[in-house]
Amino acid sequence: MAFDIDMIKSVYARYPERIAAARSITNRPMALAEKILFAHLSQGPATQDYERGGDYVDFGPDRVACQDATAQMALLQFMQAGKQQSAVPTTVHCDHLIQARIGATTDLANAKTASGEVFNFLEEVSNKYGIGFWKPGAGIIHQVVLENYAFPGGMMIGTDSHTVNAGGLGMVAIGVGGADAVDVMAGMPWELKWPKLIGVKLTGQLNGWTAPKDVILKVAGILTVKGGTGCIVEYFGKGAQSLSCTGKGTICNMGAEIGATTSTFGYDESMRRYLKATGRQQVVDLADAVKEHLTADPEVYANPEKFFDEVIEIDLTTLEPHLNGPFTPDRATPVSKMKEEAEKNGWPQNVQVGLIGSCTNSSYEDISRAASLAEQAVSKGLRAKSEFTITPGSEQVRFTIERDGFIDTFNKIGAKVFANACGPCIGQWARPGADKEEKNTIVHSFNRNFSKRADGNPNTMAFVASPELVTALAISGDLTFNPLTDKLINVDGQEVMLDPPSGWELPEKGFEVKDPGYTAPVEDGSSIDIQVDPDSKRLQLLTPFQPWNGNEISGMRLLIKAKCKCTTDHISMAGPWLRYRGHLDNISDNMLIGAVNFFNDSTNFVKSQITGEYGPVPATQRAYKAEGIPTLVVGDENYGEGSSREHAAMEPRHMGVRIVLVKSFARIHETNLKKQGMLALTFAQKDDYNKILEDDTIDTVDLKEFAPNKPITLKITHVDGIEETITCNHSYNANQLAWFKAGSALNMIKKLNK
Ligand code: MIC
Ligand code: SF4
């Protein structure tokens, strides 16, 4: 049975009218992404065309999804919005707060004890506001959404950057911070800059060792971690149609790693098959009735250069398996070049652990193909030389793969099955010995591989690959092993080769699950009273941020000038800190502790202008706050890349940082800063980054004239008394400016609801 079928019906019912309105205005063939955007304007049918990469536009997404680690802040904010119910179907998924240590059953039980207070809070709030609740162990948000909620041509937002996974079912699904989710849940328009469009034409067909993952690993290599910023990536061509729906999900999922707003595919047979297999024939019937609107106009795919801002072509037939890493998901190395690269760069050859699963790659197809290799290993007298772990994406997948014998197969090569949760992908991995910080290599089928991400060890080099390649490398124990050409020695001393993997797109006997782990909310939750213990270490009700006082900001000191890559993991680390995601003051003790200080190349070691001493970033900032001294944070390119976590914006706001000034921002983080009433600025001249010195005092000169499209000037006074001014750009529109003035977007919502 499909959830929210009435909502899906009404979305499809309005498609013909909405597309006709858009067509009469644009007068040109449209890409799928444009059709979905036009069909979801919050104003109704289109009355004007929009400039790609220029206009901010208001949308009305169909649904919202939140995961436990971000839902806490999203719901704490929603509770202040003064609404009785969420205005659109919304779900909460408990997946990030489960630590992988021993194995699924024990780890899940431990998580329920350790984070019981948070899970209960999320369940109660969900019940009160009409939100569907997926309990711990039910699965990872994106896999559960794909299996239950995604539908072709729909638009959703989710408080997780990999919400984009739902593009595998032809949605425009976008990762956002909690404050954005509050807009949609409060029934208000949700704003996004009309994206540019990148077309990726896939020709040929995958074969042998190559998997859908390799498509996105290749694209990441081409576009880099910021190449997709502000863009929707639309995949098309015969090759696209030949991919499974879940394979499409994998490709869209990792679109987050190139900074893309989202990625999507046109409605096709693979989606029909997947919808049917997951009990949603009804959605197929509805989608079929409007199918011409659920893919681009044929002219667009026939002449992509005319309609997309950029076109990439990839031939699946000749595409090689890739390994991306270490430390960044866009460092792409084809498997045939790995030996050379590893030697050149001194990457440890010995693979210590191979990890498959996660929200990116845990479909039935992925697991069955990986299992085919494990099966071969057994029959050919091989054992996995590396440790090997599996994190299934959902209880439905886990139950079905267990029924079909794959877990037994994996057990034969000594695998460990973790809970259906994020686990090692988000630092929730109690990896024995990680604290020794030894240099080592792991390979995984997740999406991110930033420093410290999986096990907290800065010297762990993580390489991202398809589950098939991860399995082969775990069997060989060698990063430079190329299964296409290399032989292995088995227990009898014979040379053997692994045959290419094989598997099933969908289970022949259908999916099965006993308890999917879902709890529907009560009809009327208005009488539910949510209590938060004022002494709780895990949860804290929010105090509204102060509005802007209308004055210039004077006497700012530099808190930190971050050097090179500064992701949201550097700004607000995950792993053990996930436990404070519902407590703004406590989590602020991790603020920027991973960022590298430009002036001494150390992390969490900055100069205090009060004492002249060096110390940790959070303590230094707390001292500035206590003295009422405003501060500023400076950053490099693509600052805030990675996660949607708005804590990376709320912490500096709460701690008294006033401006974040960088060379460029990642999309979600820039929006999060704006939503929380922070000033997010970029250097008009990137080289001005070099003008900011450790002991500077900084003042705004013309903040009082803050207006859209008008740069802001900063005066820098160096310690020798020399003054310089620099020009800073910003992308605030009138609406966003109002958030700044009110202190936050939430303060605005509260005002409007009064
Ligand atoms: C991630 O993959 O980095 C996360 C953890 O899922 C985050 C969300 C979070 O930080 O809670 C994301 O991708 O948005
Ligand atoms: Fe969870 Fe990792 Fe997916 Fe983020 S990327 S949702 S942490 S499995």
Beta-sheet pairing, 416-417 with 387-391: parallel
Q: In testing the pocket of ligand 1, which one of 645, 668, 671 has its CB within 8 Å of the most ligand atoms?
A: 645
| Residue 422: partners with Cβ closer than 8 Å, 6 or more residues away | 95, 96, 98, 140, 358, 359, 391, 428
Question: Would you call 95 a catalytic residue per the annotation?
Answer: yes
pLDDT of residue 753: 77
Output the six-digit token pair for 419. 């809970």
Q: What atom of ligand 1 comes closest to residue 159's alpha carbon? A: 14
Task: Indicate which ligand has the atom closest to the C-alpha of 644.
Answer: 1
Are 160 and 561 a contacting pair, CB within 8 Å?
no
Q: How far, in Å, from the CA of 69 to the mean position of ligand 1? A: 8
Asked whether residue 754 carries a pLDDT value surpassing 80, the answer given is no
> CB count, 10 Å around CB of 160?
30
Which tens digits make up the pLDDT trace of 403-461? 999 999 999 999 999 999 999 999 889 999 999 999 999 999 999 999 999 999 999 99
User: Predicted confidence band at 699 (pLDDT cuts at 50, 70, 90)?
Assistant: very high
Atom 1 in ligand 1: residue holding the nearest Cα = 643
For residue 600, what pLDDT is reported?
98
Q: In which band, very low, low, confident or very high, does the pLDDT at 752 lie, cut at 50, 70 and 90?
A: confident
| Ligand whose nearest atom lies closest to the CA of 142 | 2
- pLDDT band per the 50, 70, 90 thresholds, residue 164: very high
Q: What confidence score (pLDDT) does residue 713 get?
A: 98
Q: Per residue in 95-143, pLDDT tens?
A: 999 999 898 999 999 999 999 999 999 999 999 999 999 999 999 999 9
Task: Give residue 163 CA to ligand 1 midpoint distance, Å.
Answer: 10
Return the amino acid letter for 565: K
Ligand 2 atom closest to the Cα of residue 447 is: 5
Which tokens is 18 given? 């909405």
Active site residue 448: yes
Query: What is the predicted pLDDT for the residue at 208?
Result: 97
- Helix, strand, coil shares of the chain, percent, nearest 5, are 40, 20, 40
The single residue of 93, 96, 444, 669 carrying the catalytic annotation is: 96
Active site residue 383: no
Going 181 to 182 to 183 to 187, the CA torsion angle's sign is positive
Residue from 91, 161, 162, 257 whose mutation best tests the ligand 2 pocket (most atoms within 8 A of CB): 162
Q: What is the mean pLDDT of the chain?
A: 97
Is the CB of 422 inside a 6 Å radius of any atom of ligand 2? yes
Which pLDDT score is estimated for 750? 86
pLDDT digits (tens, 9 = 90+) for 49-96: 999 999 999 999 999 999 999 999 999 999 999 999 999 999 999 999
CA–centroid distance, 454 to ligand 2, in Å, is 11
Catalytic residue check, 49: no
Rg (CA), the chain: 25
162 CB within 6 A, ligand 1:
yes
Four-residue CA torsion sign, 579, 520, 12, 236: positive
Answer yes or no: 160 catalytic: yes
The angle formed by the CA atoms of residues 398, 399 and 402, to the nearest 5 degrees, is 85
Instruction: Compute the distance between CA of residue 219 and CA of residue 257 in angstroms, rounded to an integer.
Output: 10
User: Which residues partner with 488 through β-bridges?
Assistant: 496
Residue % of the chain over a pLDDT of 70 = 100
Ligand 2 and 447: CB distance under 6 A: yes
Q: Which two tokens stand for residue 26?
A: 């644009």
Cβ(254) – ligand 2 distance below 6 Å: no
Q: Do the beta carbons of residue 354 and residue 474 sit within 8 Å?
A: yes
Contact predicate 155/173, CB 8 Å: yes
Concatenated DSSP letters of 575-597: GGGGGGTB-HHHHGGGBTTTSBB
What pTM does this model have?
Answer: 0.97
Measured in Å, how far apart are the chain's first and last C-alpha atoms?
A: 40
Distance (angstroms) between ligand 2 centre and the Cα of 73 equals: 18
How far does residue 66's CA lie from ligand 2's centre (Å)?
12
The token pair that represents 744 in the structure block: 């936050």
For ligand 1, atom 5, the nearest C-alpha belongs to: 426
- 638 vs 564: CA distance, rounded Å: 9
Note if 645 is an active site residue. Answer: yes
What ligand has the least distance to the C-alpha of 577? 1
Per-residue pLDDT, 63? 98
